[in-house]
Amino acid sequence: MRMTTTEYKREHKDLEGDPLIRHEQQRQRREAVMQPAKLGVKNAVIVFVSGDRAVALRYVRGETPVPTVVGKGQGRATDEMMAQARQAGIPVIEDAAVAGPLFENTNTGAYIGQEMFSPVVRHLVRLGLT
């Protein structure tokens, strides 16, 4: 027994989902990926410091899926980042266990790695930034 065109379309929609909804979800994903990251200390919610290195992170629930590195600095840039953060009221945390690996392993504009998620989120929760 053959299926009619209408039955075939209905079955396909049931199995694969409504094509209009699928296309809209794909468009939204593409749009999210194409949007430039908001970089710079002024867009950070927290700055981690270790010696002469600093890493600024942004995490806004509903906007960023995971914390994103929005700035990195070494040497004199660290002092400038800390000054900008303090002036803007952004928490500056001295934590070598977080700042060091973030500085070494994560590029500006990139999400933090899975191995750094727990220590970073611990600070965000402690400061009420989640």
If one compares 37 and 65, the residue with the highest pLDDT of the two is 65
Examine the domain organization and report whether 96 and 63 are in the same domain. yes
CATH number of the domain to which 84 belongs: 3.40.1690.10
Range(s) of the domain holding residue 30: 5-34
Burial of residue 78 (CB within 10 Å: 0-12, 13-18, 19+) is buried
What is the average pLDDT across 84-110?
A: 95
| Residues 105-122: tens digit of each pLDDT | 999 988 999 999 999 999
Say whether pTM exceeds 0.75: no
On the question of pLDDT at 53 being above 90, the answer is yes
Confidence category of residue 35, pLDDT binned at 50, 70, 90: low
pLDDT, mean over the chain: 89
Same domain, 47 and 24: no
Label residue 17 left, alpha or beta by phi (over 0 means left) and psi (-120 to 50 means alpha): left
- For the chain, the domain total comes to 2
